[in-house]
Amino acid sequence: MKTRQMLMMVATLTIILAGCSEPQSDMANQEQLRPVRTLQLVEQTEGPLQEFPAVVDAASTADLSFKVSGSITDLYVKQGQPVQAGDLIAHIDDTDYKLAVDEAQANFDKAKADFARAEQLIVSGTISQSDYDKLKSQFTSAKTKLANAKNNLAYTTLKASFTGVVSRTHVEQFEEIQAKQAIATLQDIEHINLKVNVPESIMIRVSKDAPKQVFAEFAAIKEERFPLEFVEVSTQADEATKTYEVTFSMLPPEGYNILPGMTAKVMAGTPSRTAANLYLPLATVLKDNQGNYVWTVESQGANKGKITKTPVVIGEISSLGFPVISGVEQGTFIVTAGMSKVTDGQIVKFSGGK
């Protein structure tokens, strides 16, 4: 009797244990789901930015020089001095040039008088045609020499060709100078230019019709950006660097002394042609013999998701990642870490699930 009761107790205990084993297995399976790190795609309203080192240059720069030689008698400007168009820059000794004008004037007066008499004599036939032509030629030559002498005298005064700032003087007062020798460098800094060198790999993809957002940043001016306007672009690459020089213009910012030769950073971006764009982080895009793909996650209930291998078509790499052409949409969750440890159709622990 006791043996029978013990057998019944063992059978009852076995049934109870069997009934408890199934929920415990389900809990173990749930706990073993692999967690994944994901990112939900959102639209970017701005296109990617390109950064280029730039050098500040004056809108206009000119080396002012005399057209004649001589000794500097007056230097009217100093470095950094603002000048207006037509202001005096320097003057050279004009003594010899005044004497040259006096001599040319005397020769001209004589030649003019001789030619005037010749015009009367040729009518009466007193002189030959050849003598007349000779006196006419002498008169023309004397007239030209007088004009040249007067021009040379005027060239002894050097004036500013445009409004700007004397960035540098190259000579001292009383110094002997030669014609065409630089006396002073004049720069127009009411507007300043920024020059950047763009590599051919980027230049070849630039669309002339695409609107651009271009601005400058200066290291010494924190958290400020200055809009730029396009000026010109070189259509011939530099032989050494194989880059194309692009010039932008801006107004000097108030309160700051931006001078030619300073460095800056030019940021250039292309606004989206659509309302917005999607960009995939570089590390999330994989590739096999069928093309590019990403691992996406679709919610399968509370804290669970299903992995799907999703083919994508992407554009050129940018600072924001790979632009999406097709394959995924806004709101899609993509796997951002551990892509080598997931498989198509796998159920994972997914915090984005509902």
Position 51 scores a pLDDT of 83
Pick the CATH number of 94-155 from 1.10.8.50, 1.10.10.60, 1.10.287.470, 3.40.50.620: 1.10.287.470
Position 212 scores a pLDDT of 62
Position 13 scores a pLDDT of 52
pTM for the predicted model, two decimal places: 0.58
CATH topology for 50-59+189-269 is Elongation Factor Tu (Ef-tu); domain 3 (2.40.30)
Position 132 scores a pLDDT of 93
One pLDDT digit (tens) per residue for the chain, 354 residues: 445 555 455 455 554 444 554 444 444 444 578 888 888 888 875 555 678 899 999 989 999 999 999 999 999 999 999 999 999 999 999 999 999 999 999 999 999 999 999 999 988 888 999 999 999 999 999 999 999 999 999 999 999 999 999 999 999 999 999 999 999 999 998 889 999 998 877 776 665 554 467 889 998 888 888 999 888 888 888 888 888 999 999 998 888 888 899 999 998 765 444 444 788 888 899 988 999 999 999 988 878 889 999 999 988 776 677 889 999 998 899 998 878 888 999 988 887 644
- The segment(s) of the chain belonging to CATH 1.10.287.470 are 94-155
- The segment(s) of the chain belonging to CATH 2.40.420.20 are 37-45+276-349
Position 273 scores a pLDDT of 46
CATH topology for 37-45+276-349 is 2.40.420
Position 50 scores a pLDDT of 75
Position 63 scores a pLDDT of 96
Position 323 scores a pLDDT of 86
- The segment(s) of the chain belonging to CATH 2.40.30.170 are 50-59+189-269
Q: What's the chain look like in SS3?
A: CHHHHHHHHHHHHHHHHHHHHHHHHHHHHHHCCCECEEEECCCECCCCEEEEEEEEEEEEEEEEECCCCEEEEEECCCCCCEECCCCEEEEECCHHHHHHHHHHHHHHHHHHHHHHHHHHHHHHCCCCHHHHHHHHHHHHHHHHHHHHHHHHHHCCEEECCCCEEEEEECCCCCCEECCCCEEEEEEEEEEEEEEEEEEHHHHCCCCCCCCCEEEEECCCCCCCCEECEEEEECCCCCCCCCEEEEEEEECCCCCCCCCCCCEEEEEEECCCCCCCECEECHHHCEEECCEEEEEEEEECCCCEEEEEEEECEECCCECCEEEEEECCCCCCEEEEECHHHCCCCCEEECCCCC
